[in-house]
Chain A
Amino acid sequence: MKSEHRKRGNSGQALIVTALIITLMWMSTVYYVLETEKETVSIISTADFDFSVTKVSTRNTLISALANASNGGDKEALTTDLEKLSSTLHAHSYEAEVDLSFTPLNTTPYQDGMWISWGEEGSGLSSAYVSFAINVSGSAANYYLAYETNVTTALHIDGVCADEGSEKRVNMTCTIYDENGPALAKTISILYQNQTDGSWLSVDQQNNLAIVDFGNGTYGISFLAYSQGPIKVSAQINDLRGIFAMANVTCVQA
């Protein structure tokens, strides 16, 4: 009688255990379905997460590093600054874990994400190129975006010179570009060399320097040079972002 009573009493425990097992099965199924959905979202859509802030930050970092390197600073600043940005983004992502990884371009002519070429043929260029990947792991979804950022400042100059008494009148055209097209200069410095391998002389108001800004990235430059032989001119510019580039060219006698 007593054992029968105990037998009956055990059935409640069995019921609870069964309920727990079924609940666990349900929960694992729900968890599986949620995880599967999460993966699908990350593949199909990246639009739900706003990547614009990270994109702007990475671009600004490239501009800073290129401005630094082109003005004589350390070229390794690019990697250091991007590492700093990556750790800051990771530390300040609260609702989702943000991981930013980057690979500076190492394909010729780029080296460690930088290409600085200030040529003698009238063209000069300062450029940085880095590939990025952002992984966002949120509670509701995961997102992934891979993109590349290129920051470039380039200039092209050509010039003609004509005799003007004992001096020469130099007329130059300087065109500035960035990665999006024509760009404006913050500063333009002109130098000339009055003999081959001679010292470079800075052009200022004493040379009747006149710079006309056409507003479309093209500048007309005119000055007087004290020289009888061929004149080599150099234009050194800083664009509005502070990126430096320069180019040299030998003026054609008109």
Chain B
Amino acid sequence: MRLLKDNKGQIRVIEAFFASILLLSVLTLVSAPRNAKNTSDQNLISIGQNALLTLDNNGYLSKLIENESWTTLRECMQSSFPPTVWFNLTVFNEDSTVLNDILISSGSPINEKIVSLDYVCASQSQSYGIYLIRLQLSVVS
């Protein structure tokens, strides 16, 4: 008889346990999308980063920036991406001032979904400079 009465407490504990599981599952659902990254976005970022790395590997990227060869830079970027990829590149100096006075882009974006990556480029020249390159990419849908 006494045992039967005590069962009430155990049920409450189980109830509390389920409540906590419910709380946890809600928390998991809320935090999950923050960590999840779209694979296609990652691929696009990877393509962009590789294009910049290839140009920067022998110091060519910083030379183009220092010589203000924006048209050549646009052509280089254009040849690095497939035709279905739209890009827009902006070059900043250390004071976050935009250096390119012409648009380094492949046109107007067709897709609203744009990914952006920042690339730190250090120059090889004697007058050392660090440039921040912001590359925006999108796939033509």
Residue contact A67 to B124, C-beta cutoff 8 Å: yes
With a cutoff of 8 Å between Cβ atoms, the chain B residues found around residue A186 in the complex are none
Residue contact A52 to B130, C-beta cutoff 8 Å: no
Find B120's partner among A15, A65, A81, A92 (CB 8 Å cutoff). Answer: A92
Interface range on chain B: under 10, 10 to 19, 20 to 34, or 35 or more? 20 to 34
Chain A: which residue is nearest B19 at the CB level? A19
Residue contact A56 to B24, C-beta cutoff 8 Å: no
Residue contact B120 to A53, C-beta cutoff 8 Å: yes
With a cutoff of 8 Å between Cβ atoms, the chain A residues found around residue B13 in the complex are 18
Task: List CB contacts (< 8 Å) of B35-72 with chain A.
Answer: 35, 49, 52-53, 56-57, 59, 62
The count of chain A contact residues (Cβ–Cβ below 8 Å) is 38
The total number of A-B Cβ pairs within 8 Å is: 94
Residue contact A67 to B35, C-beta cutoff 8 Å: no
Task: List CB contacts (< 8 Å) of A11-66 with chain B.
Answer: 11, 14-15, 18-20, 22-23, 26-27, 30, 50, 52-53, 56-58, 60-61, 63-65
Residue contact B16 to A19, C-beta cutoff 8 Å: yes
Residue contact B130 to A88, C-beta cutoff 8 Å: yes
Find B20's partner among A11, A14, A22, A81 (CB 8 Å cutoff). Answer: A22
The 6 closest A-B pairs by CB, nearest first: A22-B20, A18-B16, A19-B19, A23-B20, A19-B16, A60-B122
Give me the interface of B with A, judged by CB distance under 8 Å: 12-13, 15-17, 19-21, 23-24, 27, 35, 49, 52-53, 56-57, 59, 62, 94, 118-126, 128, 130, 132
